[in-house]
Amino acid sequence: MKTHSLLCQAQQTSFNAQSLIFIKKPSPFSIPAFHISFTNPKSPFFKARSRGILLTACISHGTQGLTGGTGSGNVGNIASVSSLQKEEEEEEENQEEELQMEVNRQGLENESLWKQMKEIVVFTGPAVGLWLCGPLMSLIDTAVIGQGSSIELAALGPGTVWCDNMGYVFMFLSVATSNMVAISLAKQDKNEVQYQLSILLFIGLTCGFVMLFFTKFFGLSALSAFIGSKNLHIVPAANTYIQIRGLAWPAMLIGWVAQSASLGMKDSWGPLKALAVSSVINGIGDILLCRLLGYGIAGAAWATMVSQVVAGYMMIDSLNKKGYNAYALSVPSLSDLKTIFGIAAPVFVMMMSKVAFYALLVYFATSMGTLTLAAHQVMIQAFFMFAVWGEPLCQTAQSFLPEFFYGINRNLTKARMLLKSLAIIGTIFGLVLGIIGLSIPWFFPNIFTPDQKVIQEMHKILVQYFMALAVTPCILSLEGALLVSSTKRKKL
């Protein structure tokens, strides 16, 4: 016990002696013989002390004797300092590796982002033509008819609302087709794709005949109520237009389903060829029937109707060439209708809102007189002509995002990158389209009408026209992403 007590006292004395090194200044008449220099910041002792570790230093050989083991104490301190050096070196190496990995990851992300943007451009390039064809046909009708009669030009307003804008109500068929086909292809189930095509084509054909008969029996009454008593003189021309174009409703809706199926398969060239041919037919028909033969608005309607029938047939033929039977129709079951309704319901509500909005624009323009209505017809068709450049971005989101939500390539990180790419491209598209779209009615209004009063009405809304064009592509890209994410029920 006494020996143990003496040993404890010796250790306590050693600790006190060592502690005095840090609280007492050395004598000015004697230079301390430090084993480790305190003035060198690169020394191991300095580094160790900066970590809050207390290392003892002996001033003299006599003091070393208090520690009860001169060699072993210093060797232990040196070993601990050496291990701390190794730890610091390892930490620095790990930090460098992490930094390098972060740089590499950012580089890969940037590379993937550019690669993804290139894929989007390759897909949307020909897909732009798909949405350009419809407004282009109406714009050709507007330009050709506007050169002949301001009354018939005004009649095109309610006529195109019925034939074109009402068609957007059935856009749910296109969205449902794109989503269902893309999801089935991600699962690599070709039989399911064939079955979905057969039921969607049946629904499209049914809706087409419903619209054909509705136009035949209720079109005149609907137009009269829509146009109002102040402009009844344009009702006959507008009714002639919708009755002729109404014959193409079944072919038009079937063509939409077939077109959306091809886009869901990431094929935009097949539909583009079909619509390019139909646009040529429409342009030649307008010139021949309206300008040369003098049929006016009726000639424009016949040219557009024939071109839509040809486009529908070529869309069906494009699907057949991919190995599917587009002529096979199946009556959907109740569960199929529920599935389609689950996808299409948000789209239907959205498209009904858009149709109601544009219909109200035409309604209020109609109440302002023939000149205002004619100017509105020109500007709204020009707007649709340029705004549709954003539609391929919406379709890209619907065609590419399901691959990252389903199947073997599921990757939410890539989905977010795709959304970022779409937003960037949409912003650039918007500015370019706004500038180009503004220049045409500003500098070349005579393309549409020689009437200076109509041109003055057109120029009153150029600022609003530019702003609407600039934001539309970005909005449409986000709209497509929301449609897919609502199907998946997950946030990007």
216-221 contacts at long range (C-beta below 8 A, 24 or more positions apart): 216/243, 216/246, 219/162, 219/243, 219/246
Query: How many Å apart are CA 89 and CA 44, to the nearest integer?
Result: 12
410 and 404 Cβ atoms separated by less than 8 Å: yes
Residues 46 and 171 placed together within one structural domain of the fold: no
Residue 444 lies in a domain: yes
- Residue 249 is which amino acid? W
**pLDDT score at 270:** 79
Would you place residue 42 in the very low, low, confident or very high pLDDT band (cuts 50, 70, 90)? very low
Q: Which of 57, 77, 97 is the last residue of a domain?
A: 77
SS3 450: coil
Residue 39 lies in a domain: yes
**pLDDT score at 431:** 92
Domain carrying residue 35: 2-77
Residue 90 lies in a domain: no
Residues 438 and 337 placed together within one structural domain of the fold: yes
**Residue spans of beta strands (DSSP E) within 361-446:** none
Residues 57 and 135 placed together within one structural domain of the fold: no
Residues 154 and 297 placed together within one structural domain of the fold: yes
pLDDT digits (tens, 9 = 90+) for 311-358: 899 989 988 888 888 888 999 988 888 888 887 787 788 778 887 888
**pLDDT score at 161:** 79
Q: Is the alpha carbon torsion for 104, 109, 110, 115 positive or negative?
A: positive
Residue 315 lies in a domain: yes
Residues 233 and 295 placed together within one structural domain of the fold: yes
364 vs 109, higher pLDDT: 364
Residues 292 and 424 placed together within one structural domain of the fold: yes
255 and 326 Cβ atoms separated by less than 8 Å: no
Q: Across 107-111, 131-135, 151-155, 219-223, which has the greatest mean pLDDT?
A: 219-223
Query: How many Å apart are CA 82 and CA 256, to the nearest integer?
Result: 75
Q: How is residue 105 written in tokens?
A: 């990851």
Q: How is residue 233 written in tokens?
A: 């003189």
Residues 356 and 226 placed together within one structural domain of the fold: yes
Where on the phi/psi map is residue 188: left (φ > 0), alpha (ψ -120 to 50), or beta? left
Residues 238 and 303 placed together within one structural domain of the fold: yes
Q: Is the pLDDT assigned to residue 276 strictly greater than 80?
A: yes
> Which residue stretches of 40-69 are H helix?
44-50, 61-65
Query: How many Å apart are CA 291 and CA 247, to the nearest integer?
Result: 23
Residues in the chain: 492
Residues 248 and 336 placed together within one structural domain of the fold: yes
Residues 71 and 197 placed together within one structural domain of the fold: no
Q: Which of 51, 77, 103 is the last residue of a domain?
A: 77
Cα 450 off chain centre by: 39
Residue 46 lies in a domain: yes
Q: Which of 45, 77, 109 is the last residue of a domain?
A: 77
Query: How many Å apart are CA 93 and CA 318, to the nearest integer?
Result: 59
Query: How many Å apart are CA 471 and CA 338, to the nearest integer?
Result: 34
Residues 348 and 212 placed together within one structural domain of the fold: yes
Residues 7 and 153 placed together within one structural domain of the fold: no
Q: Is 276 exposed, middle or buried (0-12, 13-18, 19+ CB in 10 A)?
A: middle
Q: How many CB atoms lie within 10 A of CB 354?
A: 13
Please state the domain count of the chain: 2
Residue 332 lies in a domain: yes
Residue 225 lies in a domain: yes
pLDDT digits (tens, 9 = 90+) for 149-203: 778 888 888 888 788 878 777 888 887 888 788 778 877 778 888 998 999 999 9
Query: How many Å apart are CA 415 and CA 301, to the nearest integer?
Result: 43
Query: How many Å apart are CA 237 and CA 147, to the nearest integer?
Result: 16
Residue 9 lies in a domain: yes
